[in-house]
């Protein structure tokens, strides 16, 4: 069985605070909100990589998102989102996520993946991921990530 939480890559970590509005009628974080947490982490990851907060500097589109729910998140749970690049292709890369308890990372609330595709917005088409982007992703890329 594959263990997405194990990696040889450096992880990028973002602390996440659960908001009251994230909760559903059952009193735990609604399943759709997990994707918002992934998006928030991805945003800060790209801010860090690109040294920019301008969306124009992020030449990617999101092609796929998936989440495996491990345990419910409650309002008081302090969260950390840990992420790395698990696969690197010619035009795309996969970010792998672990949403864990901030004080006890052995408690895993969810794991997930998103596929980012390098995209030329001016010409409305996919493109090869540039060597500059690859170099920025390299520290966060698993050793066996090439496909």
Binned at pLDDT 50, 70 and 90, residue 97 comes out as very high
CATH, residue 119? 3.10.129.10
For residue 72, tell me if it sits in a domain. Answer: yes
Detail the DSSP E strand segments found in 22-147: 60-69, 79-88, 92-101, 108-120, 125-126
For residue 146, tell me if it sits in a domain. Answer: no
For residue 147, tell me if it sits in a domain. Answer: no
Residue 95 is part of which domain span?
12-140
Cβ contacts of residue 50 below 8 Å, gap of 6+? Answer: 57, 58, 136
- Please tell me the total count of domains within the chain: 1
For residue 5, tell me if it sits in a domain. Answer: no
The pLDDT tens digits for 15-74 are 999 999 999 999 999 999 999 999 999 999 999 999 888 878 889 999 999 999 999 999
Query: Tokens in use for 119?
Result: 């995209």
pLDDT of residue 54: 82
For residue 86, tell me if it sits in a domain. Answer: yes
For residue 130, tell me if it sits in a domain. Answer: yes
Answer with the residue of higher pLDDT: 22 or 9.
Answer: 22
pLDDT of residue 53: 83
For residue 7, tell me if it sits in a domain. Answer: no
- pLDDT at residue 3 greater than cutoff 60: no
């Amino acid at each position: 069985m594959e263990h997405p939480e194990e990696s040889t890559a450096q992880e990028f970590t973002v602390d996440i605070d659960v908001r009251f509005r994230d909760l559903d009628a059952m009193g735990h974080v609604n399943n759709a909100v997990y994707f918002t947490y992934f998006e928030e982490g991805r945003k800060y990851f790209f801010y860090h990589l690109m040294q920019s907060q301008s969306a124009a500097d992020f030449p990617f589109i999101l092609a796929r998102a998936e989440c495996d729910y491990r345990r419910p998140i409650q309002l008081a749970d302090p969260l950390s989102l840990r992420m790395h690049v698990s696969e690197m292709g010619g035009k795309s890369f996969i970010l792998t996520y672990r949403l864990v308890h901030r004080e006890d990372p052995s408690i895993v609330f969810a794991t997930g993946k998103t596929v980012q595709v390098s995209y030329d917005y001016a010409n409305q088409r996919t493109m090869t991921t540039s060597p500059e982007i690859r170099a920025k992703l390299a520290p966060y890329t698993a050793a066996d990530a090439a496909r």
